[in-house]
Structure 1
Amino acid sequence: YIYSNIEIEQIMRTAAKLASPKELRGCTYSTLFGLLAVTGMRIGEAISLDRDDVDLVEGILHIRRAKWGKSRLVPVSLSTQIALKAYAEARDRIIPHPATQAFFLLERGSRVTKCVAEWTFAQVSKSIGLRPQGKRWGKGPRLHDMRHRFAVKTLIDWYRAGLDVEREIPKLATYLGHVSVNDTYWYIEAVPELLQLATERLGGRQTARK
């Protein structure tokens, strides 16, 4: 599933309104979901971030416990850097003495777990119509689809900007933490709009050669 910009805004806005005694829950999940949308990180990577892994001055995230045991550095935009800093300030004000060094916290001062994050996302999705009401979780778009959206959006932007995608795609593979660049090429084959753009680019090259 590829989220639209409007759906991402709805998810973040709805998550920010999640009620809790200390008012940290909404802040945590709106920031967490937003981070996944703008970086394409895996949920496990995001919730594994410790405070020392988030450089709020340089705007760089250090992913230490990634899939396949790989580590990488993920630079973020200025707006994301500002959002993370605002969250950190709110978190430290609400939970001044947490039980963990985790960057993203639950209200009891412990690390956010994957199960709780996915359950919360399911509830948010149901409230805005992305999942059916009535069932505990419901079927529909997943948190991991944030990663797909980021990759697809990046590739589409590159095609439309006239960049050489074949030359740029290894950068995206590294940013996403893919073991093989073939994992990144999969998005071109799986998404009709990307396949169309790639076909048009190839057709243009062949015409130019003639």
Structure 2
Amino acid sequence: MSTLTSIFGEDLRAYIDFKARTGKTGRSRIHYLRHFDAWATAHSVTRLDRAAVEGWVLDELTRCSTHRSWMSYIRDFGRWMRVHRDPNAHVLTDEWKAGIVHSTPYLLSQYDIDAFFTAAPTVPAASPWSWQATAFFLLMHSAGLRTREVKKLTPADIDFTNGSITITGSKTGRDRLLPLTTEVMSILTDCHHQTRHQFPERSTFFVSATGTAVNPSSIGIIFNRIWDHAGLARPATGPRPRPYDFRHHFAYANIERWMRNGTDVNTMLPYLSTYMGHSGIDSTLYYVHTSPDFMSVYSDLVRTSANRVIPENSAE
């Protein structure tokens, strides 16, 4: 763990070495402790006291998104410091819960979506992203998949004959068989042929330049590159566009379509929940709570009746 600049540099290296000897070598821990080191340098921190620890946490909270498990890293470092370096080192209290907090979605417009997918096939990229980016993000947009679900897809998960995909290992622990349109299947087929020609022994459907599974960070990089290539603006404040917003848009678009068509949203939400792989209806209700203002009148109605028995033969 090089290039550490704060007064805690040597302590952080020793702590990381200690964790490695116990078999814990995750990149996430190093990533966030580098953030802490840079913050401590910028703020001339000299002691691991409460002001330093909580000051960094508060600063990091302004940038983090959904997952906050990184709080455990600074908490554990504090415990290690207390035993090995400074008995007065502050340990982040349990009042600071890691948990999962929904980040505010960026509401994609139809113009954003059209411009993005128009630009995707021509985005400058030397890696397989040059031919697979459209297919990757189209699955998030048209089927509401999570980023990691698309990343983990294997060629065997895609049924080119019947036009469907199987999603395995979701949060619910249950597999999902999802139908796809002819247009989406055509794009997946073209992507499959190009990738198979370059990497015949690949284990995942989407690959890196070496034929292995795509790196999570590369997904965000190519998304931003396409966004800029499309000439789309980035908001100066508020939510920023991310790949996951395609999944959000899928949920919003379905709810709004049902409303326009006069379909009973209460009845359809459980089906949407199952399709998107939610563990329960509460996760789906989130989209009602965060949807555009004109949907707010439906929120209370849906919340009180979503758990009722679903009538048979009501799925679309």
Shorter-chain TM-score bucket reads 0.7 to 0.9
* Secondary structure of the structure 2 residue equivalent to 1:102: coil
Q: Following the alignment from structure 2 to structure 1, what is the Cα–Cα distance between the partners of residues 163 and 130?
A: 23
Show the counterpart of 1:97.
200
TM-score (norm 1): 0.82
Range 47-56 or range 120-129, more displaced: 120-129
Q: Is the Cα–Cα contact under 8 Å of residues 48 and 65 in structure 1 kept in the other structure?
A: no
Check if 1:120 corresponds to 2:222: yes
Q: Following the alignment from structure 2 to structure 1, what is the Cα–Cα distance between the partners of residues 124 and 210?
A: 14
Q: Following the alignment from structure 2 to structure 1, what is the Cα–Cα distance between the partners of residues 157 and 175?
A: 11
1:9 is aligned with what amino acid?
A: D
- Deviation of 1:67 after TM superposition, in Å, equals 2.6
Q: Following the alignment from structure 1 to structure 2, what is the Cα–Cα distance between the partners of residues 97 and 21?
A: 19
Q: Following the alignment from structure 1 to structure 2, what is the Cα–Cα distance between the partners of residues 154 and 5?
A: 14
Structure 2, unmatched stretches of 5+, are 1-105, 303-316
- 1:145/1:27 CA distance change after superposition, 3 Å: same
- Deviation of 1:167 after TM superposition, in Å, equals 0.9
Structure 1, unmatched stretches of 5+, are 134-138, 203-210
Listed as ranges, the matches of 1:45-194 within 5 Å are 45-93=149-197, 95-98=198-201, 100-127=202-229, 128-131=231-234, 140-191=240-291, 192-194=293-295
* Secondary structure of the structure 2 residue equivalent to 1:67: coil
Show the counterpart of 2:121.
16
Q: Deviations over 1:131-187 (max 9, x none)?
A: 379xxxxx7211111111000000000111111111111110000001111211221
Q: Is the Cα–Cα contact under 8 Å of residues 123 and 225 in structure 2 kept in the other structure?
A: no
Q: Following the alignment from structure 2 to structure 1, what is the Cα–Cα distance between the partners of residues 249 and 196?
A: 31
Structure with bigger gyration radius:
2
Q: Following the alignment from structure 2 to structure 1, what is the Cα–Cα distance between the partners of residues 235 and 263?
A: 40
Show the counterpart of 1:205.
none
Q: Is the Cα–Cα contact under 8 Å of residues 64 and 70 in structure 1 kept in the other structure?
A: yes
Instruction: Specify which structure has the bigger relative contact order, considering alpha-carbon pairs within 8 angstroms and separated by 6 or more residues.
Output: 1
Show the counterpart of 2:313.
none
Q: Is the Cα–Cα contact under 8 Å of residues 56 and 81 in structure 1 kept in the other structure?
A: yes
- 1:53/1:161 CA distance change after superposition, 3 Å: same
Q: Deviations over 1:82-128 (max 9, x none)?
A: 221121122223x1434x32111223322222211112112222342
- 1:161/1:102 CA distance change after superposition, 3 Å: same
C-alpha root-mean-square deviation of aligned residues, in Å? Answer: 2.3
Q: Is the Cα–Cα contact under 8 Å of residues 16 and 27 in structure 1 kept in the other structure?
A: yes
Q: Is the Cα–Cα contact under 8 Å of residues 40 and 176 in structure 1 kept in the other structure?
A: yes
* Secondary structure of the structure 2 residue equivalent to 1:61: strand
Q: Deviations over 1:4-28 (max 9, x none)?
A: 2221122122221123447x42211
Check if 1:40 corresponds to 2:144: yes
Q: Following the alignment from structure 1 to structure 2, what is the Cα–Cα distance between the partners of residues 56 and 6?
A: 30
Structure 1 residue ranges, 4+ long, deviating more than 6 angstroms after superposition = none
Determine what percentage of the aligned residue pairs are the same residue: 24
- 1:122/1:10 CA distance change after superposition, 3 Å: same
- 1:7/1:177 CA distance change after superposition, 3 Å: same
- 1:21/1:167 CA distance change after superposition, 3 Å: closer
- 1:187/1:101 CA distance change after superposition, 3 Å: same
Q: Following the alignment from structure 2 to structure 1, what is the Cα–Cα distance between the partners of residues 283 and 248?
A: 11
TM-score (norm 2): 0.56
Q: Is the Cα–Cα contact under 8 Å of residues 42 and 144 in structure 1 kept in the other structure?
A: yes
Structure with more helix by fraction? 1
- Deviation of 1:70 after TM superposition, in Å, equals 3.6
